[in-house]
Amino acid sequence: MGETSLAGGAIAQPFYRGLGRSLGAGVICVLSLWLSGCVGKYHVKYRESTPPQVAYDYQTTVVKPASYRISDWALSEHDDPALTVSVEQLFSAQKFSYQEQITEKGGRKDADMICFIFPFFWFLLVVEPENCFARTDEWQVTKKQRINLENVGKPEPKWVANETQQLTLELTGLDESARQQEQLRYRVSQNHIGLRRHLATLQVEPNSVAVRVSAQGESADAIQFEIDRQALAVLVPRPVWLPMPMAKDKFMLGLRDALIAGDVSKANGYFEKLVNMPIELPDSFYYRYAVSLSKVGRHDEARKYARRYLALAGEGGAHAQQAKGLLR
């Protein structure tokens, strides 16, 4: 009898321990759920509204082919004068009307009862009262969307500033009779176009220099002015320019060396310098220039100088047949 009681007690102890654990877990769960209900929840709300007012705006698209113009320019008066240029690009502007739909976000927070039930959290009533008491937040705009878009009228041209468009700087050295003796072109940025360093690259001594800056090809609004001999002496106090005869000899020697070396690109550079100088050149010069241009795919220019050769040398020219072949 005693043994049976002992055995029953041994079996009952694990049962009660398991029951106690289950009850403890249940109490914790219930307590957690209750406490979570005491934590103030935040209720988010959204609302949309469309004011009756109609607004207007423009939608711009790039005009193709691209068109540019110089809107303003200034020449600084320092020891080293520099050009600063402003460029505009042509756009097509379509006016349209619209209404603005506004999306707002608001919210309401319930009171956080934990702050009131447990003394341990009472300090939050002083430190963070906004998190303990119930509150209603003001509406905040979260999104604006244009609706009911309608075009108004026809598209109109509109010039817009373009600060990245490069410019073409053209320097033309002129002799005493205002004839062109050398011409150089550079691609430059709009800000601080230094004149001194570009003028110093001329190799033939000029009597004056015609300066032209354009934003697009042969545009009529290009900046144009001339620097006379007196101003050149100030701008380039130590010129490295050569007199015309010396410059011709230098370019001819450079051309010969480039042709012997097979450097077509360098040879074309000398051809261009010589053809722009007011000097007499042999007929064969134009034929050889045409051949050199055709080697780098500049066929339109090659045909131009092939025609010039034929006009000078005639049908009996030593290279007449070859020149005709370049015209095909």
- Over residues 1-39, the pLDDT tens digits come to 445 454 455 555 655 565 555 555 544 544 444 444 456
More confident residue, 265 or 119: 265
Contact 271, 263 (CB under 8 A): no
- Residues 262, 268, 270, 275, CA torsion sign: positive
Q: Residue 69: inside a domain, yes or no? A: no
CA-CA distances (angstroms) from residue 21 to 16, 18, 151? 9, 5, 74
More confident residue, 35 or 217: 217
C-alpha neighbours within 13 Å on the C-beta side of residue 82: 11
Name the pTM for this structure: 0.56
144 band by pLDDT with thresholds 50, 70 and 90: very high
Q: Are residues 230 and 264 in the same domain?
A: no
Q: Residue 89: inside a domain, yes or no? A: no
**Residue holding tokens 């690109």?**
265
Q: Residue 286: inside a domain, yes or no? A: yes
Which amino acid, 252?
M
Residue ending a domain, choose from 235, 261, 276: 235
Residue ending a domain, choose from 235, 252, 270: 235
| Mean pLDDT for the stretch of residues 94-118 | 83
Q: Residue 4: inside a domain, yes or no? A: no
The total number of structural domains that make up the chain: 2
Q: Are residues 227 and 196 in the same domain?
A: yes
Q: Residue 83: inside a domain, yes or no? A: no
Write out pLDDT tens, residues 54-105. 999 999 999 888 888 888 888 887 667 788 899 999 999 999 999 999 999 9
Task: Give Rg (Cα) of the chain.
Answer: 43
C-alpha neighbours within 13 Å on the C-beta side of residue 59: 11
**Residue/partner pairs of 313-319 with CB below 8 Å, 24 or more apart:** 313/283, 313/284, 313/287, 317/283, 317/287, 318/284, 319/284, 319/287
Q: Residue 52: inside a domain, yes or no? A: no
Q: Are residues 187 and 223 in the same domain?
A: yes
Residue 113 has pLDDT above 90, yes or no: no
231 band by pLDDT with thresholds 50, 70 and 90: confident
Q: How far apart are CA 323 and CA 289, in angstroms?
A: 11
The enclosing domain of 280 has a CATH number of 1.25.40
Instruction: State the average pLDDT for the chain.
Output: 82
Q: Residue 2: inside a domain, yes or no? A: no
Which amino acid, 224?
Q
Residue ending a domain, choose from 203, 235, 267: 235
> Residue 193 belongs to what domain range?
167-235
Residue 146 has pLDDT above 80, yes or no: yes
Q: Are residues 250 and 312 in the same domain?
A: yes
Q: Residue 76: inside a domain, yes or no? A: no
**Residue holding tokens 């502007």?**
93
Q: How far apart are CA 227 and CA 199, in angstroms?
A: 10
Q: Are residues 277 and 319 in the same domain?
A: yes
Give the relative orientation of helices 299-313 and 283-295 as an angle to the nearest 10 degrees.
Answer: 160
The rounded Cα 121 to chain-centroid distance in angstroms is: 57
| Cβ count within 10 A of residue 9 | 9
Contact 248, 181 (CB under 8 A): no
Q: Are residues 253 and 296 in the same domain?
A: yes
